[in-house]
Amino acid sequence: MDKDKARQDGRLDGQTLLLLIVNGLFLTASALSGTYFGIYIWKASNDFFRLGSFTLITHLAMGITFWIAGNAAKEGNKMTVMRLGIAVYVVFYGAVLLLKESAIHYTEVLGIVQGIAMGLFWLAFNVIYFEATEPDNRDRFNGWAGTIGSLIGIAVPWSSGLIISRMGGASGYRAIFLLSLGIYVGAIAVSFFLRNRRTSGNYDWRWVYPLLRNRRTDWRSVLGALTAQGVRESVFGVLIGVLIYIQTGSELKLGNFMLVTSAVGFVSFLLAGKWLTPRWRNAGMLIGAIALAAAVLPLVIGISYGSLLAFGVGAALFFPLYTLPMTASVFDLIGQDEDSVRRRVEYVVARELALNLGRVAGMVLFLCTISVSRAPAVMNALLLVAGSSPLISWLFMRRRLSSASEQIRVEMKPKGAL
């Protein structure tokens, strides 16, 4: 089957399948070690502020890297940018292995290195993703990417927790960091089979500024939605894993949590990837946003392993409904005309900068909150604010999603129908 025919019926061609493999290997390596690196810092410091500072530095470095690396992705070779991002991850975990227990004294430097790695990889990956997919197979690609990510989440963090528990703390962490290095190298090897599609023109360093000033496009509201999304990612990305460890004192329990929630996410992504066509994106995202906000309520009632598990299951069940419509809609907007396609690198940079602005804002909010008070009522307010951000994302996106759904209904109406 040729590439054009595959795209016409919404199927994935060879390049998109290879991209899924690279993404799967990257996520596997990240899940092996990244799930537990926050615990690694926490066990060495027992300090939420140090953990939050590491995360904040990572997000700041990632945002700066997105902006700078956009030039290399557009005027150079984006495949080299992606491979370099994976290679910097190898450097990151190699440094952690060499530093051993003293790594806790270098969290600022490690945060910068991790931010650079994430910025390089995700900038290049998202540009390649846009080039390799079309509107009629983008939802399917996202569904498969989420399904693969959930399968990885089922097996890999649980395996890491088992390794750490069986081998003992320091030896177990060294083992999973070393495994991650090998898988990252494998991802680099597979990436050589992906084609580099050349982009034309020069990189516009100031593109985000005129984009925000233009009231005649949907980009202002889209960037607002992405910023709100980043707030939730940042706060819950730091808190949930550490809270589970505090409640249980066991890395294996965190692995069990990831196994259960990822199993739910696997089924949810699989179904959403098949059902959630562009026509239903608006309704799907609204349902997902409401459900994600409601999933926080068990944590507000009281923090326990049971309430954390209830939150995790609820979030995993409805997260695909929230994220798939927004991701696909944003990339459809990038491909709306020839000029947008030519500026795809700048648009991807704008997208990532908006997400990162939200992540930075969420982490600043977290650090300010714990600096003022760690009383349950204050922490509950933080959870409610961060947990409600998907609703803000939908409010920003609703006009874009509604107009896209209406356009599809018009296109599907038989000719001559009133």
In this structure, the number of other CB atoms found within 10 A of the CB of residue 375 comes to: 9
Q: How far is the CA of 289 from the CAs of 79, 281, 365, 402, in angstroms? A: 34, 12, 21, 16
Q: Which three-class secondary structure state does DSSP give residue 285?
A: helix
Question: For a pLDDT cut of 70, what percent of the chain falls above it?
Answer: 93
**Among 155, 239, 230, 276, which residue's Cα sits nearest to residue 396?**
230
Torsion sign across C-alpha atoms 217, 218, 221, 227: negative
Cβ(131)–Cβ(218) under 8 Å? no
CA atoms within 13 A on the CB side of 160: 31
Lowest mean per-residue pLDDT among 105-119, 127-141, 180-194 = 127-141
The per-residue pLDDT for range 35-81, each reduced to its tens digit, is 778 888 888 888 889 889 999 999 999 999 999 988 888 888 888 99
**Among 56, 37, 403, which residue's Cα sits nearest to residue 222?**
403
Question: Which CATH fold would you assign to the domain 14-194+218-412?
Answer: Growth Hormone; Chain: A; (1.20.1250)
Nearest-angstrom CA–CA distance, 285 and 280: 9
What are the domain boundaries of the chain? 14-194+218-412
The two structure tokens encoding residue 243:
């809270």
| Length, in residues, of the chain | 418
The two structure tokens encoding residue 228:
């709100």
Nearest-angstrom CA–CA distance, 320 and 271: 9
359 falls in which pLDDT band (50, 70, 90)?
Answer: very high
| Top mean-pLDDT range of 115-129, 202-216, 325-339 | 115-129
Q: What is the largest CA-CA distance in the chain?
A: 73
The per-residue pLDDT for range 228-286, each reduced to its tens digit, is 999 999 999 888 988 898 888 888 888 889 889 988 988 888 888 777 777 888 888 99
Nearest-angstrom CA–CA distance, 250 and 242: 10
* Helix (H) / strand (E) containing 298: helix 297-301
Lowest mean per-residue pLDDT among 277-291, 298-312, 396-410 = 396-410
Which pTM value belongs to this model?
0.84
Check whether 7 has a pLDDT greater than 80: no
The per-residue pLDDT for range 146-193, each reduced to its tens digit, is 888 888 888 888 888 888 888 876 788 888 888 888 899 999 999 888
